[in-house]
Structure 1
Amino acid sequence: METMLFSGPGAVPYLTNGLRDPAPRVRAAAAKGLFQLGQLEVIPLLTRMLLIPSPVPVLSACHALGQLMRLQPPTLRSDHPLSLSLSREARRRRPPAIAGPLVLRDPSLPELFEKLSGTTNDTNATIEALQHHVKVHPTSRAARRMLAAVLAGMDRAAPALALIESCLAEQPGVLADLLDAYRLAMRIGDLPRAERLGHKVRDTYGALLDACLELAHSSRGGPADQLLDRLFHLREPSMNLYSAMIQLKAKQGDVETVLDLLTELLLARPGNATVAARLAANLPPALSELKSALAQYSRASAGTSSPIPA
């Protein structure tokens, strides 16, 4: 079988027949040869042989895998079958480029944040800018959600609630939207609506808290133990859970979920310059124009005494 490798890809059919041989040593040798010819899918065959309750197939598979582990693909020619197969597999498994949160892919948002950078000290001007944007771009969920947050901060609960519920109709599982909608329903005294929203808040919050506890338990020690203590004090629905979710997902390296959470937080609390700055710093190159506008907005928002919710 070793000499068959000199035939290159032409040896693949013969070695494939060797995989059906009743002798474990022949099967293992055939799999090893096929791997060297770029047939990467033979590795599962060798690993399955390790599970056979008999010493011969296990030892044969161990021997073949040990020899494969000693191969050094970087030393092979670039046109070697194994090098070509590994290169194709690497390209296939390469993670797709991060496009950023869907709600932020609205091409009208950079212009909006640039306008808002000049109105951070004037709440009425901020409301006018957001209302104009919503009128011109009625499908902009980000603009509607920020307008709702600003109106809520000005004690205009009814229009704020209507805007948040329009956002929930498009994306019903956003915790920040559910919490604010529940609070606004209570504020205007709409108890049936508040009760309906309260059930959704408890279900959503409970599921998220359980997921956070599970993640924190799986990475015990140091900061994780401190986070567990914080989570045990977050039994009642609270926006503070966002901080824990972001921390846990950042530790996992889940960049997309971190961006989604920061976006939800910023749209619900548009006056939070720290969140705006962190979101701007982490936006992908695909949203470079928004990244620049959001960074400008975060600098303008820092240190202001505006009543815009933060």
Structure 2
Amino acid sequence: MRVRIATFNLENFDMPHGHGIPLEARVAVLRPQLLRLRADILCLQEVSAHVPHHGVHELQALERLLEETPYAGFERRTTRGRSGGPNDKHNLVVLSRLPIRAFEQHWHDLVAPPVITIATSPSPHDVRVVWDRPFLEVRVELPGGESLWVFDAHLRAPLAAPIEAQKLAATSWRTTEGWSEGYFLASIKRSGQALELRRRIDAVFDDDLRANVLVAGDLNADASSSAVRILRADVEDTGNPDLAPRALEALEERVPTEKRYSVLHHGRGQMLDHLLASQSLARRHVATDILNADLDDEFFTPHPVGSLHAPVVVELEV
């Protein structure tokens, strides 16, 4: 039997605000993309819930998007904020046609927030560097009874984090050293998220080196970045062949180079959305596709109707 697993960043998908793009216009573009994926397991990022219902944030826009699709009847798991409900923005959601046997989210339960000194603020001080959001772990039962661990992740974007008194406006910095420290802070967040996820993956391998593990999501990083290298743990980096069973393979590398991009920036393709598979799972690979034929360039599209990310889907023989 074949199983299809996909990842898709829906690009700040929510009920419209103010003069935002009407929801129906976005649904008209995004729903056909979801249907083309024909996914059995669908990992989504940037699912927002700004508009509260009776004081509780709900994923109303997602409900509308999934109407009249097979995904409406799938089992669903989502990340939660500190209050217990969905965050107002950038939630992770996993939809599965196959039974979900367990799930949890991880947010500093495996890696404590590092403490650094902010040097460019008016009064240098120590801060705890907290990740922007958790990652979601879902254990799915495959046909035949095997388990599949799916990790839905959205790592910090490579945009400088705010530094006290160093911003002139939302996108304008007062000094280059302030921007540099903000960019450094963002890189700590992104690599720290990757480290926490890697630790959880290794805990799964501690129980079974042949475990079926898949990391799916917008990692905001290409294959050469520190975050992706942390997650993959290639033997070329660890220098230890005995650790090879713990390495993850980037399944997009099975796609021809000219098609290997999920985001366009000023005409240049970037592979930021990934499906990373354990060795046992990679051996079951049938096909990988990146649906980027009609992808808009993010540099020229500040307010997209659809998404500025291409969905990525893999087919496995299980």
Q: What TM-score, normalized to structure 2?
A: 0.28
Higher helix share goes to which structure? 1
Question: Which structure is larger by alpha-carbon Rg, 1 or 2?
Answer: 1
